[in-house]
Chain A
């Protein structure tokens, strides 16, 4: 017990760093959210709720919220469908190339989102890979719109969060034990029943963890909705950026940012409550 205070010093560097680069700017953000914008568009130091009233009286804020949540839910769900089998495979394989395969699976993390978006444009665009292929096969006569709309953003976002979800799933698979599946099989359960009755229930904590992470990443993603949405997809993150840069309306941007943060914390608390139910 006497060791504990000394042990705590190990946390000091990280704490200091986080305070400098995270807590301090966040506090600044809170401060700006209570400033006002003057008639010239310049920010006026104040302690006012005017910006808050303005933002929440605007029905667009409500629309952005729904858009953000909907986009995050769909792309996280899509990413989950794709990452779950991959993670299960990586978790189980006894291949010598397991680590290599894992690295390949999370490789997209190493590529900048901007580059990735251009990759998707080349694949999903009107003259992209898929459309050219379908057209040359005669399946379609006119290109199908898959970029600069919700479809493109959902696909792009799902791809960008997949590596993180794969990692989260792998980390969460702790209770998944091969022997339990063997026990189910020896008791007469065919493979698909074994999956439904043993594998899936035991991986629910991992799924909850990965879903939460994917959702947060989707909610705060800016580049993918911006570039793949082609100015037609409006979510909280793009709006914050617009307000902060194009409109240089910092107070509005700050209010939206604080609001998004609160929203995320609320949803996180909800999911935490939910996943605790799952664990018992």
Chain B
């Protein structure tokens, strides 16, 4: 049994199901991201773990003991709220020391541990400031220190970086990851930002509509998405309807696709834009390569790459990413688009 086990966790509200039979195992010291669009039940899951929301069904077990109905203050979870939730009437040191006071830690030890925590998040000397006298990034660190100083069983981070500007977010991302690693603290990290999930966690649980759509390493999720939803939610994607030839094999834009077709039913073909290559029209595909032809609609410079939009005979579009150093073909040019057969994924068409 894993260190933290959620099984069949369900939370219903009056007219919606926020979390729908969610199961998840987290090993001790592991960092798992809950990644999903807004409203998919990430926060609710975290709140059930912290004991702030009671699940309708399901079991939460920590280190072999069930804690499903344990009161929040007895759970020893380090919760970093999205809004930080720093106590405005207490200074930074007392904010951080709050949990230690509640645990009856003697004053001398408390002060030492608060000092250590301040150091850990690089806020030495700011212990006497009020939260509102700090910048967003500093407040974020205080919230993190406050949750870490109690040596929580699990660290719960709810979209903790979403209120910071891009540059600070980058820095904090690395910092949190480093702290998490050095303390070997079991962490659940909620985010709707895939970069955060991919860079900060050992495993990623992609959530959709209250369920886990796929769980795995960043590579698993990115290279072998299990569902259509995961494929389109994580990373950039081309998703095009495939036709079936007379022999039942798949074709795209009238050309045979070297991809295994699940028998029966309509399917879509998925391939990532950066796996596509442009070639002069008429160039034959190599072995184990897929190939379609079309003409360039336009090219968009996006900084670190260029997106070339290619339209097929039916007017459907593919996005091809090329390096920004390369010159894109002129608009209207006839081109061939090629990719390795193994980069093609096929998903059953979703009922609209």
Contacts and interface: CB of A to CB of B under 8 A. Distances in A.
Interface of A: 175, 177, 179-180, 182-191, 193-194, 197-198, 201-202
Contacts of A202: 88-89
Contact of B150 (A184, A188, A197): A188
Interface string B66-82: 00000111111111010
Given A180-B85, A182-B52, A191-B73, 7 more contacts: A182-B72, A183-B86, A186-B51, A186-B75, A186-B78, A187-B99, A190-B71
B98 interface: yes
B81 A179 contact: yes
A190 B50 CA distance: 14
A198 B90 CA distance: 9
A151 B99 CA distance: 44
A198 B87 contact: yes
A193 B89 contact: no
Interface of B: 50-52, 71-79, 81, 83, 85-89, 98-99, 102-103, 146-147, 150
A185 B51 CA distance: 9
A179 B75 CA distance: 17
Nearest to A191: B73
Contacts of B71: 185, 190
B102 A183 contact: no
Interface centre among B72, B76, B78 (most CB of A within 10 A): B72
Contact of B73 (A179, A180, A189, A198): A189
A175 B71 CA distance: 25
Given A183-B81, A184-B98, A186-B50, A175 B73 contact: no
Given A183-B79, A187-B146, A177 B85 contact: yes
A11 B89 CA distance: 36
Nearest to A184: B98
The 7 closest A-B pairs by CB, nearest first: A187-B99, A188-B102, A183-B85, A186-B79, A185-B72, A179-B85, A189-B102
Contacts of B85: 177, 179-180, 182-183
B81 A188 contact: no
B98 A187 contact: yes
Interface centre among B71, B79, B86 (most CB of A within 10 A): B79
A18 B31 CA distance: 65
Nearest to B102: A188
A133 B72 CA distance: 44
A187 B88 contact: no
Contacts of B103: 188
Contacts of B87: 180, 183-184, 198
